[in-house]
Structure 1
């Protein structure tokens, strides 16, 4: 068997430290990843189940693999960008024997459980494993402000940080647990759809009056900046479970609920998607959190276990707080 570690070092040295990489999965994001590697001077092999998607990249200098096994065999670093972990497993199974001694990095959306299962399978196949998450759109790949997070084998991140950094300047290693990247992706990703729905609702309302959706963009950006500035303080309250410093209380939020419904009736816009959120806000008020900060809604959302006194609005547990940030976070910037 070829000693891949020695072979990889020799190949990288001959290529100015730029290791060969294989990209599997060439949708919009996968193609953007491959192009970023090519621009950075990496020998890049590509494979896609629909072979014609490899042609544009071949025209730009990538090597086309005719089989997934050939694609895996071509490089010490395998980067997959498929829909989810099930699709990744299905694509790689025919090449399982070729993965022995190689490094596998998955860049797809999926659950923490899916990441753990994929890590176990990669180990079974004889590969080292790193799970990743991309927190931006294909057009942002390769930019200094683009965020990608990784978790899993620390040696894989250490060995390939420079290569992975070409995909985005904000390259963050979260820790050894393979599901951390997926966990944070799910936690942060929960913001996306509600935020967009709020914008779409506003756009529909404006258009009902003959106004352009574009006219609200600047105001929306200012609104989002305000929300961004609130997040550190809200997170601190949640970690301490102390919501007494209430600049925007739960009952204050509830006081505008009727106006929201009146606005919906006037414009004819469907706002039913908000119902579940308002239900949780009302529930928090019913539990006695009405005069406390809106962040107290977290107490309604969090899982409650036997002996948990989270329903007590007088609870002030500041001795056992946990900020939730992995102690092993390592950020690699361009």
Structure 2
């Protein structure tokens, strides 16, 4: 499709969606390109289309673009064509290396654009990506979607970004289409990935705890679904005490515990007892139990459980 036709398509889409007085006029909706149409990338592109942004998409497997094209997106034949369609380019590929490999297909055509990466990766990878962007004359923001694809576009969905402040300010309204809880963390380009790693550290342990609970109930012939409301309340309680634990860690003050290392350590025996009764494998807990034992050996029995952070931090 020629670029003029793409522009007309985007304008018609904007005019069709316009009509809600709270939405931007078609002239104000920024064209957006989305590269990478996995589950998350497709959700990002769909959110832009639904909000009336002229949206160009590209994916290595072209068939994945079909549902978005049916909604009104424009499918580019090449990465270069996709990038030429919009100043704002959102990339949601698997890694930073994959992002660089894809963008290099555009050659000098990427220069002068604003790049937002929403892929997985590490702070090191984000810094490497920022260096690449600077070398190619690209304004760079790295980001993270802290929810599942089906939540993209909802008012309470959290996304955070780091990198070029001017790029964020210029595009904040457009980026907020992806989630109402949109946060700028700072100029350092790796902050989004740093917080993503820090926040994400709670996911698998929390889920394993739920799966263990489900295994305990199933051993008694009870459905896992009966555990859900009580687990949610428990997680809400944990959320309510995180600020206090954060204050203890920031102050390195662990002598006035809500819950002590000693109490948690004594619970190890109960973990093993219920594991034997329910005939479930609790080996995944061994590193946590070892951490508690080390804390006791260091004389932290009466310290807050938050003092475990001191054991997790490696010393020189």
TM-score by length of 1: 0.86
Matched, 1:115 2:129: no
Matched, 1:58 2:69: yes
After superposition, the C-alpha distances for 1:109-151 in whole angstroms (9 at most, x for unaligned) are 1100000000100111121100000100001101110000000
Task: Select the structure that is richer in helix.
Answer: 2
Match of 1:177 in 2: 188
| Alpha-carbon distance between aligned partners in 2 of 1:88 and 1:271, rounded to the nearest angstrom | 39
Unpaired stretches in structure 2, ≥5 consecutive residues: 1-10, 15-23
Q: CA deviation at 1:14?
A: 8.3
The alignment covers a number of residue pairs equal to 295
Match of 2:281 in 1: 270
After superposition, the C-alpha distances for 1:165-185 in whole angstroms (9 at most, x for unaligned) are 000000000000000000000
Higher relative contact order (CA 8 A, sep 6+): 1
Which stretches of structure 1, 4 residues or longer, exceed 2 Å deviation after superposition? 11-16
Q: 120, 124, 129: which is aligned to 2:140? A: 129
Match of 1:32 in 2: 43
Match of 1:231 in 2: 242
Summarize the alignment of residues 1-334 of structure 1 with structure 2, pairs less than 5 Å apart: 15-305=26-316
| Alpha-carbon distance between aligned partners in 2 of 1:193 and 1:265, rounded to the nearest angstrom | 23
| Alpha-carbon distance between aligned partners in 2 of 1:238 and 1:292, rounded to the nearest angstrom | 12
Q: Is 1:25–1:48's contact at 8 Å kept on the other side of the alignment? A: yes
RMSD (CA atoms): 1.4
After superposition, the C-alpha distances for 1:271-303 in whole angstroms (9 at most, x for unaligned) are 111111111111111111110110011110013
TM-score by length of 2: 0.91
Unpaired stretches in structure 1, ≥5 consecutive residues: 1-10, 306-334
After superposition, the C-alpha distances for 1:189-212 in whole angstroms (9 at most, x for unaligned) are 000000001111111111111110
Q: CA deviation at 1:16?
A: 2.8
